[in-house]
Amino acid sequence: MEATEPSVVLIVEDEVLVRMAISAYLRECGYTVIEASSADEAIAVLESDHPVHVVFTDVEMPGAMNGFGLASWMRENKPKMPVILAGNHKKEAEAAADLCEYGPMLSKPYEPQQLLDQIRRLVAGLS
């Protein structure tokens, strides 16, 4: 276990193979990972009694709500919970600046280590 408490990361990613790889990596690093395949699933988890400390979400997702929508929902409903967004475009990064006060948006393709560093920083700020 490399991670210290709090250490539950909610991963929101609709591409199953990407989600699988990043979740496995973070579990290997000692984090408890909850997987959601859409923003709706993420909200169901966040509204449940499962503890979550950090949310990592893809921006582009099918369905009624994308990653920005989820980050906005969190701003409203979970204002203290940090969120990390990952997306493809500079424009998205600018739009995300508003929503990600805890750190810059990750640009795809990102290295798993970059995500890990960002989660560690956020978790350190929480504990």
Partner 1 sequence: MNSRARVLVVEDEVLVRLDIAGALRDAGFDVVEAGSGNEALSVLKTGASFVAVVSDVNLNDDVNGIDVIRRARELLPEAKLVLISGSPLLAEAADLPDEFISKPLVAAELAAKLKKAVPDQWKQQNRQSS
Q: Could you say whether residue 28 binds partner 1 (CB under 8 A)?
A: yes
Cα 85 to Cα 1, 2, 4, 102, distances in angstroms: 25, 23, 22, 10
**In the complex, what is the shortest distance from the CB of residue 111 to partner 1, in angstroms, rounded to a whole number?**
18
Determine how many CB atoms are found less than 10 A away from the CB of residue 43.
19
- Single residue of 48, 77, 88, 113 touching partner 1 by CB under 8 A: 48
Q: Which of these, 80, 83, 95, 75, lies nearest to 12 by C-alpha position?
A: 83
Instruction: Candidates 24-32, 84-92, 99-107, 111-119: pick the segment binding partner 1 (CB under 8 A).
Output: 24-32
* Choices 44-52, 74-82, 86-94, 110-118 (CB under 8 A): range interacting with partner 1: 44-52
The DSSP line for 52-82 is -SEEEEES--SSS--HHHHHHHHHHH-TTS-
Q: Tokens 């009624």 identify what position?
A: 64
Residue 25 host element (H or E): helix 16-28
- The rounded distance, in Å, linking the Cα atoms of 49 and 66 is 23
Among 4, 30, 50, 125, binds partner 1 (CB under 8 A): 50
Q: Which one of 4, 5, 16, 104 is in contact with partner 1 (CB under 8 A)? A: 16
97 binds partner 1 (CB under 8 A): no
- Residue 43 or 83 with smaller CB distance to partner 1: 43
Binding site for partner 1 (CB under 8 A): 16-17, 19-20, 23-24, 27-28, 34-38, 41, 44-45, 48, 50
